[in-house]
Amino acid sequence: MKNLSTYIAYPGTTQEAFEHYRDVFGGELSIVKYGDMPPMEGMPFEPDPDAVAHATLTLPGGTISGSDQMPGETYAVKDTIYSLLYGFDDVEEARACLATLVEAGGAVNMSFELAPWGDHYGTVFDKFGVMWAFTVPATEETGN
């Protein structure tokens, strides 16, 4: 079975981010820290035992995976070059998730509104810098 998932390297905030996403969206969370793993010969660095080696949040409709950045990596998480697009069937459910991300320290990037193409659509940066896009397809129930 083929599956496409998102993987993000966070600057030491993976556990906090994934616990936050679980609280917002629900789902099943798995976190493995380097200290939980057997020693790995040939590693180019000595991993912090408290650093997240791999996290996965299984959500209705998909998965998000990630880890803490490797020592010396300083990649920016916040950018508009990507977003995590999460589709909902219900406008109010999407609005509630968007509002929860904003209330927890995020910021609206594009208001969740009826878009010119007929769907409801909006984007928000969460408190970790990840841009989330929310969409609800046009249907009779959504009023489009």
For residue 43, being part of any structural domain is answered with: yes
Eight-class DSSP state of 81:
S
Q: What would the mean pLDDT of 45-64 be, rounded to a whole number?
A: 91
For residue 1, being part of any structural domain is answered with: no
- Which pLDDT belongs to residue 41? 82
For residue 141, being part of any structural domain is answered with: no
> 50 pLDDT exceeds 80?
yes
Co-location of 62 and 98 in the same domain: no
CA distance 143 to 29: 34
Domain total of the chain: 2
CA terminus-to-terminus distance, the chain? 34
Co-location of 10 and 63 in the same domain: yes
For residue 11, being part of any structural domain is answered with: yes
Co-location of 64 and 90 in the same domain: no
Co-location of 92 and 45 in the same domain: no
Q: How many angstroms from the chain centroid is the CA of residue 17?
A: 8
For residue 129, being part of any structural domain is answered with: yes
136, 88 Cβ separation under 8 angstroms:
yes
CA distance 144 to 91: 11
Using CA atoms of 6, 127, 67, 22 in order, give the dihedral in degrees to the nearest 10.
Answer: -70
CA distance 121 to 123: 7
| The token pair that represents 30 in the structure block | 């798995």
For residue 91, being part of any structural domain is answered with: yes
- Which pLDDT belongs to residue 140? 60
- Three-state SS at 12: coil
Co-location of 53 and 106 in the same domain: no
Domain that holds residue 127: 84-136
Give pLDDT tens digits for 65-94. 999 998 777 777 888 788 999 999 999 999
